């Protein structure tokens, strides 16, 4: 029930995170600034991306989503109130909804401030 976490530098000053559940083989990504470094890390670790969790709509957090979705068939998860600015979502969240990575459960929190529909997972 523990997650392996990989931190990936992207662009000039962004980071993204892979969360991998060894038991289920599920791997979630938090934001997708650019696909290439994420694909390289997934390949290096032998993980397959199953979910892309989007925190907000800014391009430096979503520009790699479509390439990753196409390559892995990963489900894209994001804020329901922000669907007009996000890539198409497979799962639309509102505060209090949960996301599973194997047996691990994360609850969506509204942390608006940086932008009006920013979310986080706890």
Q: What are the residue boundaries of the structural domains of the chain, listed by start? A: 3-121
- Identify which of 5, 70, 4, 10 has the alpha carbon closest to the alpha carbon of residue 40: 10
- Whether 109 has a pLDDT exceeding 90, the answer reads no
In what side-by-side order are the strands of the sheet with 14-21? Answer: 3-10, 14-21, 27-30, 51-53, 75-79, 91-93
CB contact at 8 A, 26 and 20: yes
**Non-local CB neighbours of 47 within 8 Å, separated by 6+ positions:** 18, 20, 25, 27
Report the run of H or E that residue 35 belongs to, with start and end: helix 35-45
CA distances from 2 to 30, 41, 51, 70, 104 (A): 17, 19, 17, 28, 7
* % the chain with pLDDT above 90: 65
Q: Pick from 31-45, 51-65, 105-119 the range whose average pLDDT is largest.
A: 31-45
* pLDDT over 90 at 88, yes or no: yes
C-alpha 89/C-alpha 64 separation (Å) is 14
Phi-psi region of 72 (alpha: psi -120 to 50; beta: other; left: phi over 0): alpha
Mean of pLDDT values over 47-52: 98
Domain 3-121: CATH superfamily is Ribonuclease Z/Hydroxyacylglutathione hydrolase-like (3.60.15.10)
39/61: higher pLDDT: 39
The pLDDT of residue 116 is 65
pTM of the model: 0.90
């Amino acid at each position: 029930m523990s997650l392996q976490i990989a931190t990936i530098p992207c662009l000039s000053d962004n980071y993204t995170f892979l969360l991998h559940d060894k038991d289920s083989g599920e791997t979630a990504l938090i934001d997708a600034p650019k696909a290439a470094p994420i694909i390289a890390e997934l390949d290096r670790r032998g993980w397959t991306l199953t979910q892309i969790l989007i925190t907000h709509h800014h391009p430096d957090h979503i520009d790699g989503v479509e390439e990753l979705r196409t390559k892995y068939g990963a489900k894209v998860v994001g804020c329901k109130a922000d669907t007009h600015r996000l890539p198409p979502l497979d799962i639309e969240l509102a505060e209090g909804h949960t996301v599973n990575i194997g047996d691990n459960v994360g609850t969506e929190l509204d942390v608006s401030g940086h932008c009006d529909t920013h979310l986080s997972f706890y």
